[in-house]
Chains A and B, each alone.
Chain A
Protein backbone atom coordinates (compact mmCIF):
# COMPACT_ATOMS: atom_id res chain seq x y z
CA UNK A 1 0.00 0.00 0.00
CA UNK A 2 2.73 2.43 0.97
CA UNK A 3 4.97 2.15 -2.06
CA UNK A 4 7.05 5.23 -2.62
CA UNK A 5 8.24 5.46 -6.17
CA UNK A 6 11.65 6.78 -5.25
CA UNK A 7 12.36 3.81 -3.02
CA UNK A 8 11.24 1.40 -5.70
CA UNK A 9 13.57 3.03 -8.14
CA UNK A 10 16.52 2.86 -5.75
CA UNK A 11 16.08 -0.83 -5.09
CA UNK A 12 15.75 -1.69 -8.75
CA UNK A 13 18.68 0.46 -9.71
CA UNK A 14 20.84 -1.26 -7.11
CA UNK A 15 19.89 -4.70 -8.42
CA UNK A 16 20.73 -3.69 -11.93
CA UNK A 17 24.01 -2.08 -10.99
CA UNK A 18 25.18 -5.00 -8.90
CA UNK A 19 24.58 -7.55 -11.63
CA UNK A 20 28.05 -7.16 -13.15
CA UNK A 21 27.72 -10.26 -15.33
CA UNK A 22 25.23 -8.47 -17.54
CA UNK A 23 26.86 -7.25 -20.74
CA UNK A 24 27.34 -3.52 -20.57
CA UNK A 25 24.95 -2.59 -23.36
CA UNK A 26 22.17 -4.81 -22.02
CA UNK A 27 22.54 -3.23 -18.63
CA UNK A 28 22.41 0.20 -20.11
CA UNK A 29 19.32 -0.64 -22.10
CA UNK A 30 17.60 -2.09 -19.05
CA UNK A 31 18.40 0.99 -17.01
CA UNK A 32 17.16 3.32 -19.71
CA UNK A 33 13.93 1.40 -20.15
CA UNK A 34 13.39 1.16 -16.43
CA UNK A 35 14.06 4.84 -15.83
CA UNK A 36 11.67 5.69 -18.60
CA UNK A 37 8.88 3.58 -17.10
CA UNK A 38 9.44 4.86 -13.57
CA UNK A 39 9.59 8.44 -14.71
CA UNK A 40 6.23 8.09 -16.43
CA UNK A 41 4.57 6.46 -13.45
CA UNK A 42 5.96 8.94 -10.95
CA UNK A 43 5.69 12.11 -12.99
CA UNK A 44 1.99 11.94 -13.82
CA UNK A 45 0.54 12.82 -10.37
CA UNK A 46 3.13 15.49 -9.58
CA UNK A 47 2.93 16.95 -13.07
CA UNK A 48 -0.83 17.10 -12.67
CA UNK A 49 -0.50 19.02 -9.39
CA UNK A 50 2.07 21.39 -10.90
CA UNK A 51 -0.11 22.15 -13.87
CA UNK A 52 -3.30 22.61 -11.85
CA UNK A 53 -1.59 24.86 -9.29
CA UNK A 54 0.16 27.00 -11.90
CA UNK A 55 -3.01 27.43 -13.92
CA UNK A 56 -5.19 28.17 -10.89
CA UNK A 57 -2.73 30.75 -9.54
CA UNK A 58 -2.36 32.31 -12.98
CA UNK A 59 -6.15 32.57 -13.24
CA UNK A 60 -6.47 34.19 -9.80
CA UNK A 61 -3.56 36.57 -10.42
CA UNK A 62 -4.43 37.60 -13.98
CA UNK A 63 -4.38 41.40 -14.08
CA UNK A 64 -5.55 42.26 -17.57
CA UNK A 65 -9.01 40.70 -17.24
CA UNK A 66 -12.20 41.47 -15.32
CA UNK A 67 -13.03 39.92 -11.96
CA UNK A 68 -15.84 37.95 -13.62
CA UNK A 69 -13.52 36.57 -16.29
CA UNK A 70 -10.90 35.66 -13.68
CA UNK A 71 -13.52 33.81 -11.66
CA UNK A 72 -14.88 31.95 -14.67
CA UNK A 73 -11.38 30.75 -15.60
CA UNK A 74 -10.87 29.54 -12.04
CA UNK A 75 -14.25 27.83 -12.09
CA UNK A 76 -13.40 26.03 -15.32
CA UNK A 77 -10.08 24.77 -13.91
CA UNK A 78 -11.62 23.49 -10.70
CA UNK A 79 -14.56 21.80 -12.44
CA UNK A 80 -12.01 20.04 -14.63
CA UNK A 81 -9.40 19.17 -12.01
CA UNK A 82 -11.53 18.31 -8.98
CA UNK A 83 -14.01 15.46 -8.77
CA UNK A 84 -16.69 17.72 -7.31
CA UNK A 85 -19.43 15.09 -7.58
CA UNK A 86 -17.51 12.56 -5.52
CA UNK A 87 -16.38 15.14 -2.97
CA UNK A 88 -19.94 16.47 -2.71
CA UNK A 89 -21.30 13.02 -1.89
CA UNK A 90 -18.59 12.38 0.67
CA UNK A 91 -19.18 15.73 2.33
CA UNK A 92 -22.92 15.09 2.67
CA UNK A 93 -22.18 11.68 4.21
CA UNK A 94 -25.10 9.49 5.28
CA UNK A 95 -27.48 12.38 4.58
CA UNK A 96 -27.01 11.72 0.87
CA UNK A 97 -29.23 8.69 1.11
CA UNK A 98 -31.94 10.66 2.89
CA UNK A 99 -32.10 13.32 0.18
CA UNK A 100 -34.56 12.84 -2.69
CA UNK A 101 -33.21 12.93 -6.27
CA UNK A 102 -34.19 16.58 -6.78
CA UNK A 103 -32.46 17.55 -3.54
CA UNK A 104 -29.37 15.56 -4.54
CA UNK A 105 -29.13 17.31 -7.90
CA UNK A 106 -29.74 20.73 -6.37
CA UNK A 107 -27.22 20.03 -3.61
CA UNK A 108 -24.51 18.96 -6.05
CA UNK A 109 -24.93 22.08 -8.16
CA UNK A 110 -24.85 24.36 -5.11
CA UNK A 111 -21.93 22.46 -3.59
CA UNK A 112 -19.82 23.06 -6.71
CA UNK A 113 -20.71 26.76 -6.66
CA UNK A 114 -19.83 26.98 -3.00
CA UNK A 115 -16.48 25.19 -3.26
CA UNK A 116 -15.40 27.30 -6.22
CA UNK A 117 -16.44 30.57 -4.55
CA UNK A 118 -14.85 29.62 -1.21
CA UNK A 119 -11.54 28.49 -2.74
CA UNK A 120 -11.23 31.49 -5.03
CA UNK A 121 -11.00 33.40 -1.73
CA UNK A 122 -9.03 30.93 0.36
CA UNK A 123 -6.36 30.35 -2.29
CA UNK A 124 -5.83 34.03 -2.96
CA UNK A 125 -3.43 34.22 0.00
CA UNK A 126 -1.34 31.47 -1.58
CA UNK A 127 -0.96 32.83 -5.09
CA UNK A 128 2.27 34.64 -4.21
CA UNK A 129 3.75 31.48 -2.73
CA UNK A 130 6.50 29.34 -4.18
CA UNK A 131 5.94 25.63 -3.87
CA UNK A 132 7.94 22.46 -4.15
CA UNK A 133 6.76 18.90 -4.52
CA UNK A 134 8.39 16.79 -1.83
CA UNK A 135 7.09 13.33 -2.67
CA UNK A 136 4.39 11.23 -4.22
CA UNK A 137 2.86 8.34 -2.29
CA UNK A 138 0.83 5.68 -3.98
CA UNK A 139 -2.01 5.02 -1.54
CA UNK A 140 -4.13 2.64 -3.57
CA UNK A 141 -4.54 1.02 -6.93
CA UNK A 142 -5.66 4.30 -8.50
CA UNK A 143 -4.90 6.75 -5.72
CA UNK A 144 -1.99 9.03 -4.91
CA UNK A 145 -1.03 11.62 -2.36
CA UNK A 146 1.26 14.34 -3.66
CA UNK A 147 2.98 16.15 -0.80
CA UNK A 148 3.87 19.77 -1.43
CA UNK A 149 5.40 22.61 0.54
CA UNK A 150 4.19 26.18 0.03
CA UNK A 151 6.37 29.07 1.13
CA UNK A 152 4.92 32.55 1.20
CA UNK A 153 7.41 35.39 0.60
CA UNK A 154 6.13 37.12 3.75
CA UNK A 155 6.13 34.08 6.02
CA UNK A 156 9.19 31.98 6.79
CA UNK A 157 7.08 29.00 7.93
CA UNK A 158 6.37 26.62 5.04
CA UNK A 159 2.83 25.23 4.77
CA UNK A 160 2.37 21.50 4.12
CA UNK A 161 -0.28 20.83 1.51
CA UNK A 162 -1.19 17.26 0.53
CA UNK A 163 -3.14 16.61 -2.64
CA UNK A 164 -5.15 13.43 -2.69
CA UNK A 165 -5.64 12.34 -6.28
CA UNK A 166 -7.64 9.63 -7.91
CA UNK A 167 -7.45 8.25 -11.42
CA UNK A 168 -10.90 8.52 -12.97
CA UNK A 169 -10.63 6.67 -16.26
CA UNK A 170 -7.72 8.36 -18.04
CA UNK A 171 -7.69 11.58 -16.04
CA UNK A 172 -6.43 12.43 -12.57
CA UNK A 173 -8.79 14.35 -10.30
CA UNK A 174 -8.32 15.96 -6.89
CA UNK A 175 -10.57 14.45 -4.23
CA UNK A 176 -9.12 16.10 -1.12
CA UNK A 177 -6.73 18.82 -0.04
CA UNK A 178 -5.02 18.54 3.34
CA UNK A 179 -3.42 21.69 4.74
CA UNK A 180 -1.17 21.15 7.79
CA UNK A 181 -2.99 17.89 8.50
CA UNK A 182 -6.45 19.41 8.09
CA UNK A 183 -8.53 17.70 5.43
CA UNK A 184 -10.80 20.15 3.68
CA UNK A 185 -13.33 17.42 2.87
CA UNK A 186 -13.53 16.25 6.50
CA UNK A 187 -13.92 19.82 7.76
CA UNK A 188 -16.74 20.54 5.33
CA UNK A 189 -18.37 17.25 6.19
CA UNK A 190 -18.57 18.15 9.85
CA UNK A 191 -19.87 21.65 9.02
CA UNK A 192 -22.62 20.26 6.79
CA UNK A 193 -23.54 17.66 9.34
CA UNK A 194 -23.75 20.38 12.03
CA UNK A 195 -26.11 22.51 9.92
CA UNK A 196 -28.40 19.54 9.30
CA UNK A 197 -28.32 18.57 12.99
CA UNK A 198 -29.12 22.12 14.08
CA UNK A 199 -32.17 22.01 11.84
CA UNK A 200 -33.51 18.68 13.11
CA UNK A 201 -32.30 16.67 10.15
CA UNK A 202 -33.65 18.99 7.46
CA UNK A 203 -31.44 18.78 4.34
CA UNK A 204 -33.40 21.69 2.87
CA UNK A 205 -31.82 23.93 5.51
CA UNK A 206 -28.32 23.06 4.28
CA UNK A 207 -29.34 23.65 0.66
CA UNK A 208 -30.73 27.05 1.63
CA UNK A 209 -27.53 27.91 3.53
CA UNK A 210 -25.36 26.91 0.56
CA UNK A 211 -27.43 29.04 -1.79
CA UNK A 212 -27.06 32.09 0.46
CA UNK A 213 -23.41 31.70 1.31
CA UNK A 214 -22.24 31.37 -2.30
CA UNK A 215 -24.09 34.59 -3.10
CA UNK A 216 -22.58 36.32 -0.05
CA UNK A 217 -19.06 35.15 -0.83
CA UNK A 218 -19.29 36.33 -4.41
CA UNK A 219 -20.81 39.65 -3.37
CA UNK A 220 -18.09 40.24 -0.77
CA UNK A 221 -15.22 39.47 -3.11
CA UNK A 222 -14.34 43.04 -4.08
CA UNK A 223 -14.71 44.55 -0.63
CA UNK A 224 -12.38 42.11 1.14
CA UNK A 225 -9.65 44.13 2.78
CA UNK A 226 -6.23 42.64 2.31
CA UNK A 227 -3.29 44.03 4.19
Chain B
Protein backbone atom coordinates (compact mmCIF):
# COMPACT_ATOMS: atom_id res chain seq x y z
CA UNK B 1 0.00 0.00 0.00
CA UNK B 2 2.93 2.31 0.67
CA UNK B 3 4.02 2.04 -2.95
CA UNK B 4 0.57 2.85 -4.22
CA UNK B 5 0.43 5.79 -1.90
CA UNK B 6 3.76 7.33 -2.79
CA UNK B 7 3.11 6.73 -6.48
CA UNK B 8 -0.21 8.49 -6.36
CA UNK B 9 1.23 11.30 -4.35
CA UNK B 10 4.13 12.08 -6.62
CA UNK B 11 2.36 10.97 -9.77
CA UNK B 12 3.72 13.68 -12.00
CA UNK B 13 7.34 12.97 -11.19
CA UNK B 14 6.70 9.29 -11.56
CA UNK B 15 4.99 9.55 -14.91
CA UNK B 16 7.80 11.70 -16.26
CA UNK B 17 10.63 9.66 -14.78
CA UNK B 18 9.20 6.35 -15.86
CA UNK B 19 8.37 7.32 -19.37
CA UNK B 20 11.67 9.05 -20.06
CA UNK B 21 13.88 6.46 -18.35
CA UNK B 22 12.24 3.55 -20.08
CA UNK B 23 11.92 5.22 -23.46
CA UNK B 24 15.59 4.56 -23.99
CA UNK B 25 15.61 1.02 -22.74
CA UNK B 26 12.73 -0.77 -24.40
CA UNK B 27 11.36 0.55 -27.67
CA UNK B 28 9.69 -1.90 -29.99
CA UNK B 29 11.35 -2.10 -33.37
CA UNK B 30 8.97 -0.56 -35.85
CA UNK B 31 8.47 -2.70 -38.94
CA UNK B 32 9.66 -1.19 -42.20
CA UNK B 33 7.01 0.99 -43.92
CA UNK B 34 7.54 -1.23 -46.99
CA UNK B 35 5.77 -4.07 -45.21
CA UNK B 36 2.41 -2.33 -45.52
CA UNK B 37 0.27 -4.65 -43.38
CA UNK B 38 2.76 -5.00 -40.54
CA UNK B 39 3.33 -1.25 -40.55
CA UNK B 40 -0.43 -0.52 -40.49
CA UNK B 41 -0.88 -2.96 -37.61
CA UNK B 42 1.99 -1.27 -35.75
CA UNK B 43 0.40 2.16 -36.29
CA UNK B 44 -3.03 0.91 -35.25
CA UNK B 45 -1.69 -0.57 -31.99
CA UNK B 46 -0.05 2.82 -31.26
CA UNK B 47 2.13 1.13 -28.67
CA UNK B 48 5.79 1.93 -29.42
CA UNK B 49 6.81 0.89 -25.88
CA UNK B 50 5.06 -2.46 -26.16
CA UNK B 51 7.90 -4.66 -24.82
CA UNK B 52 8.23 -2.47 -21.73
CA UNK B 53 4.46 -2.14 -21.37
CA UNK B 54 4.07 -5.92 -21.51
CA UNK B 55 6.68 -6.29 -18.78
CA UNK B 56 4.90 -3.75 -16.57
CA UNK B 57 1.58 -5.45 -17.33
CA UNK B 58 3.04 -8.77 -16.17
CA UNK B 59 4.16 -7.07 -12.97
CA UNK B 60 0.69 -5.54 -12.47
CA UNK B 61 -0.91 -8.93 -13.02
CA UNK B 62 1.32 -10.31 -10.28
CA UNK B 63 0.34 -7.45 -7.99
CA UNK B 64 -3.30 -8.14 -8.78
CA UNK B 65 -3.01 -11.89 -8.17
CA UNK B 66 -1.19 -11.45 -4.86
CA UNK B 67 -2.88 -8.38 -3.40
CA UNK B 68 -5.71 -6.60 -5.16
CA UNK B 69 -7.80 -9.53 -6.39
CA UNK B 70 -7.64 -11.43 -3.06
CA UNK B 71 -8.51 -8.19 -1.25
CA UNK B 72 -11.48 -7.66 -3.57
CA UNK B 73 -12.66 -11.26 -3.09
CA UNK B 74 -12.40 -10.91 0.70
CA UNK B 75 -14.26 -7.61 0.51
CA UNK B 76 -17.05 -9.24 -1.50
CA UNK B 77 -17.20 -12.27 0.77
CA UNK B 78 -17.14 -10.45 4.10
CA UNK B 79 -19.44 -7.51 3.44
CA UNK B 80 -23.11 -7.95 2.54
CA UNK B 81 -24.26 -6.39 -0.72
CA UNK B 82 -26.14 -3.40 0.78
CA UNK B 83 -23.00 -2.36 2.65
CA UNK B 84 -20.85 -2.64 -0.49
CA UNK B 85 -23.42 -0.63 -2.45
CA UNK B 86 -23.40 2.05 0.21
CA UNK B 87 -19.61 2.22 0.04
CA UNK B 88 -19.76 2.61 -3.73
CA UNK B 89 -22.34 5.38 -3.31
CA UNK B 90 -20.18 7.11 -0.72
CA UNK B 91 -17.07 6.99 -2.92
CA UNK B 92 -19.05 8.11 -5.97
CA UNK B 93 -20.41 11.07 -4.03
CA UNK B 94 -16.90 12.14 -3.03
CA UNK B 95 -16.04 12.41 -6.73
CA UNK B 96 -18.82 14.94 -7.28
CA UNK B 97 -16.68 18.12 -7.14
CA UNK B 98 -14.29 16.81 -9.81
CA UNK B 99 -17.20 15.59 -11.95
CA UNK B 100 -18.96 18.96 -11.58
CA UNK B 101 -15.82 20.87 -12.56
CA UNK B 102 -15.35 18.74 -15.68
CA UNK B 103 -19.04 19.00 -16.63
CA UNK B 104 -18.46 22.76 -16.65
CA UNK B 105 -15.15 22.52 -18.51
CA UNK B 106 -16.96 20.56 -21.22
CA UNK B 107 -19.65 23.24 -21.37
CA UNK B 108 -22.44 20.85 -20.37
CA UNK B 109 -24.65 22.87 -18.01
CA UNK B 110 -27.37 20.20 -17.88
CA UNK B 111 -24.98 17.56 -16.65
CA UNK B 112 -23.30 20.03 -14.30
CA UNK B 113 -26.58 20.88 -12.60
CA UNK B 114 -27.46 17.19 -12.33
CA UNK B 115 -24.12 16.56 -10.59
CA UNK B 116 -24.72 19.50 -8.26
CA UNK B 117 -28.24 18.29 -7.46
CA UNK B 118 -26.93 14.79 -6.78
CA UNK B 119 -24.26 16.11 -4.44
CA UNK B 120 -26.70 18.26 -2.44
CA UNK B 121 -29.40 15.58 -2.23
CA UNK B 122 -27.13 12.61 -1.52
CA UNK B 123 -24.93 14.42 1.00
CA UNK B 124 -28.01 15.53 2.99
CA UNK B 125 -30.96 13.14 2.61
CA UNK B 126 -28.59 10.41 1.41
CA UNK B 127 -26.74 10.53 4.72
CA UNK B 128 -23.27 11.76 3.65
CA UNK B 129 -23.62 10.00 0.33
CA UNK B 130 -24.06 6.45 1.62
CA UNK B 131 -27.41 6.32 -0.14
CA UNK B 132 -28.37 7.51 -3.58
CA UNK B 133 -31.91 8.93 -3.42
CA UNK B 134 -30.98 11.37 -6.22
CA UNK B 135 -31.02 8.56 -8.75
CA UNK B 136 -34.75 8.00 -8.18
CA UNK B 137 -35.36 11.72 -8.56
CA UNK B 138 -34.02 11.61 -12.10
CA UNK B 139 -30.41 12.54 -11.42
CA UNK B 140 -28.50 9.41 -12.39
CA UNK B 141 -24.76 9.16 -11.76
CA UNK B 142 -22.40 9.95 -14.61
CA UNK B 143 -18.63 9.95 -14.71
CA UNK B 144 -16.34 12.78 -15.79
CA UNK B 145 -12.69 13.58 -15.22
CA UNK B 146 -10.02 15.79 -16.72
CA UNK B 147 -8.74 13.10 -19.10
CA UNK B 148 -12.25 12.98 -20.59
CA UNK B 149 -12.35 16.77 -20.76
CA UNK B 150 -9.09 16.79 -22.73
CA UNK B 151 -10.49 14.07 -24.99
CA UNK B 152 -13.74 15.97 -25.43
CA UNK B 153 -11.84 18.99 -26.75
CA UNK B 154 -9.95 16.83 -29.21
CA UNK B 155 -6.74 15.88 -27.41
CA UNK B 156 -5.80 12.35 -28.46
CA UNK B 157 -4.54 9.88 -25.91
CA UNK B 158 -1.01 9.53 -27.28
CA UNK B 159 0.86 6.23 -27.28
CA UNK B 160 -0.34 3.51 -24.95
CA UNK B 161 1.44 3.46 -21.63
CA UNK B 162 1.16 0.87 -18.86
CA UNK B 163 2.26 2.14 -15.46
CA UNK B 164 3.10 0.01 -12.45
CA UNK B 165 0.12 -0.36 -10.10
CA UNK B 166 -1.78 2.51 -11.74
CA UNK B 167 -2.50 0.53 -14.92
CA UNK B 168 -3.07 1.93 -18.42
CA UNK B 169 -2.33 5.67 -18.46
CA UNK B 170 -1.30 7.12 -21.83
CA UNK B 171 0.08 10.70 -21.60
CA UNK B 172 -3.28 12.47 -21.95
CA UNK B 173 -4.88 10.35 -19.25
CA UNK B 174 -1.86 10.56 -16.95
CA UNK B 175 -2.03 14.35 -17.19
CA UNK B 176 -5.77 14.17 -16.56
CA UNK B 177 -5.22 11.99 -13.53
CA UNK B 178 -2.73 14.48 -12.09
CA UNK B 179 -5.15 17.39 -12.64
CA UNK B 180 -7.97 15.40 -11.00
CA UNK B 181 -5.92 15.02 -7.84
CA UNK B 182 -4.90 18.68 -7.87
CA UNK B 183 -8.49 19.86 -8.38
CA UNK B 184 -10.02 17.50 -5.82
CA UNK B 185 -10.95 19.42 -2.65
CA UNK B 186 -10.22 16.28 -0.62
CA UNK B 187 -6.54 16.63 -1.51
CA UNK B 188 -6.54 19.89 0.49
CA UNK B 189 -9.12 19.05 3.15
CA UNK B 190 -6.89 16.32 4.51
CA UNK B 191 -3.67 18.25 4.06
CA UNK B 192 -2.52 17.38 7.57
CA UNK B 193 -3.96 13.88 7.51
CA UNK B 194 -2.65 12.51 4.24
CA UNK B 195 -3.38 8.98 5.48
CA UNK B 196 -7.11 9.63 5.00
CA UNK B 197 -6.53 10.22 1.27
CA UNK B 198 -4.41 7.08 1.06
CA UNK B 199 -7.06 5.02 2.80
CA UNK B 200 -9.68 6.36 0.38
CA UNK B 201 -7.50 5.48 -2.65
CA UNK B 202 -7.09 1.99 -1.26
CA UNK B 203 -10.79 1.44 -0.57
CA UNK B 204 -11.64 2.90 -3.98
CA UNK B 205 -9.25 0.48 -5.70
CA UNK B 206 -10.80 -2.50 -3.89
CA UNK B 207 -14.33 -1.25 -4.55
CA UNK B 208 -13.66 -0.86 -8.26
CA UNK B 209 -11.84 -4.18 -8.54
CA UNK B 210 -14.61 -6.13 -6.77
CA UNK B 211 -17.20 -4.87 -9.23
CA UNK B 212 -15.46 -6.55 -12.17
CA UNK B 213 -14.09 -9.72 -10.53
CA UNK B 214 -16.02 -12.23 -12.63
CA UNK B 215 -15.80 -10.25 -15.85
CA UNK B 216 -12.01 -9.98 -15.76
CA UNK B 217 -11.50 -13.58 -14.66
CA UNK B 218 -13.59 -14.66 -17.61
CA UNK B 219 -11.88 -12.27 -20.01
CA UNK B 220 -8.42 -13.48 -19.01
CA UNK B 221 -9.46 -17.09 -19.37
CA UNK B 222 -10.95 -16.61 -22.83
CA UNK B 223 -8.56 -14.07 -24.36
CA UNK B 224 -6.18 -14.95 -27.14
CA UNK B 225 -3.85 -12.17 -25.99
CA UNK B 226 -4.92 -10.67 -22.66
CA UNK B 227 -2.52 -7.71 -22.87
CA UNK B 228 -3.83 -6.68 -26.30
CA UNK B 229 -7.42 -7.23 -25.14
CA UNK B 230 -6.94 -4.87 -22.18
CA UNK B 231 -5.23 -2.30 -24.40
CA UNK B 232 -8.11 -2.28 -26.86
CA UNK B 233 -10.69 -2.35 -24.09
CA UNK B 234 -9.13 0.57 -22.26
CA UNK B 235 -9.06 2.78 -25.36
CA UNK B 236 -12.58 1.93 -26.48
CA UNK B 237 -13.93 2.48 -22.99
CA UNK B 238 -12.22 5.88 -22.69
CA UNK B 239 -13.63 6.92 -26.05
CA UNK B 240 -17.08 5.78 -24.96
CA UNK B 241 -16.82 7.82 -21.75
CA UNK B 242 -15.65 10.87 -23.72
CA UNK B 243 -18.74 10.56 -25.96
CA UNK B 244 -20.93 10.07 -22.84
CA UNK B 245 -22.00 6.69 -24.16
CA UNK B 246 -23.29 7.97 -27.51
CA UNK B 247 -22.62 5.63 -30.42
CA UNK B 248 -20.15 7.11 -32.90
CA UNK B 249 -22.18 6.31 -36.02
CA UNK B 250 -19.61 7.84 -38.37
CA UNK B 251 -16.82 5.57 -37.17
CA UNK B 252 -18.43 2.16 -36.90
CA UNK B 253 -16.11 -0.75 -37.67
CA UNK B 254 -16.22 -1.43 -41.41
CA UNK B 255 -17.29 -5.01 -42.02
CA UNK B 256 -17.17 -4.60 -45.79
CA UNK B 257 -13.53 -3.69 -46.24
CA UNK B 258 -11.99 -5.58 -49.11
CA UNK B 259 -8.57 -7.11 -48.88
Q: Is B225 an interface residue (CB 8 A)?
A: yes
Which of under 10, 10 to 19, 20 to 34, or 35 or more describes the interface residues of A? 35 or more
Neighbouring A residues of B232 by C-beta, 8 Å: 182, 186-187, 189-191
In contact, B40 and A94 (Cβ under 8 angstroms): yes
In contact, B236 and A182 (Cβ under 8 angstroms): yes
In contact, A180 and B222 (Cβ under 8 angstroms): no
A97 vs B237: C-alpha distance in the bound complex, in angstroms? 30
Q: Mark A191-204, 1 if CB is under 8 A from B, else 0.
A: 11111111001000
Partner of B45, one of A139, A178, A193: A193
Q: Is A130 an interface residue (CB 8 A)?
A: no
In contact, B245 and A181 (Cβ under 8 angstroms): yes
Query: What is the total number of residues of chain B having a CB less than 8 Å from a CB of chain A?
Result: 46
In contact, B45 and A122 (Cβ under 8 angstroms): no
In contact, B252 and A164 (Cβ under 8 angstroms): yes
Interface centre among A117, A182, A189, A224 (most CB of B within 10 A): A182
A114 vs B158: C-alpha distance in the bound complex, in angstroms? 32
CB A89 to nearest CB in B, in angstroms, measures 8
In contact, B245 and A160 (Cβ under 8 angstroms): yes
In contact, A194 and B45 (Cβ under 8 angstroms): yes
In contact, A194 and B227 (Cβ under 8 angstroms): yes
CB A34 to nearest CB in B, in angstroms, measures 26
8 Å CB interface, B112-159 against A? none
CB B246 to nearest CB in A, in angstroms, measures 9
In contact, A122 and B219 (Cβ under 8 angstroms): yes
8 Å CB interface, A70-107 against B? 86-87, 89-90, 93-98
In contact, B255 and A145 (Cβ under 8 angstroms): no
Neighbouring A residues of B58 by C-beta, 8 Å: none
A225 vs B44: C-alpha distance in the bound complex, in angstroms? 36
In contact, A1 and B249 (Cβ under 8 angstroms): yes
Q: Is A2 an interface residue (CB 8 A)?
A: yes
In contact, B76 and A121 (Cβ under 8 angstroms): no
Contact of A95 with B240 at beta-carbon distance under 8 Å, contacts A183-B253, A194-B225 already known: no
Partner of B76, one of A189, A226, A227: A227
Residue pairs across A and B with Cβ atoms less than 8 A apart, 22 shown, are: A89-B259, A90-B253, A90-B254, A93-B259, A121-B222, A122-B218, A139-B252, A178-B247, A181-B243, A182-B236, A185-B253, A187-B236, A189-B253, A190-B44, A191-B225, A193-B44, A194-B225, A197-B38, A201-B35, A209-B224, A220-B221, A227-B213
Q: What 5 pairs between A and B have smallest CB-CB spacing?
A: A181-B240, A194-B228, A118-B222, A97-B259, A190-B232
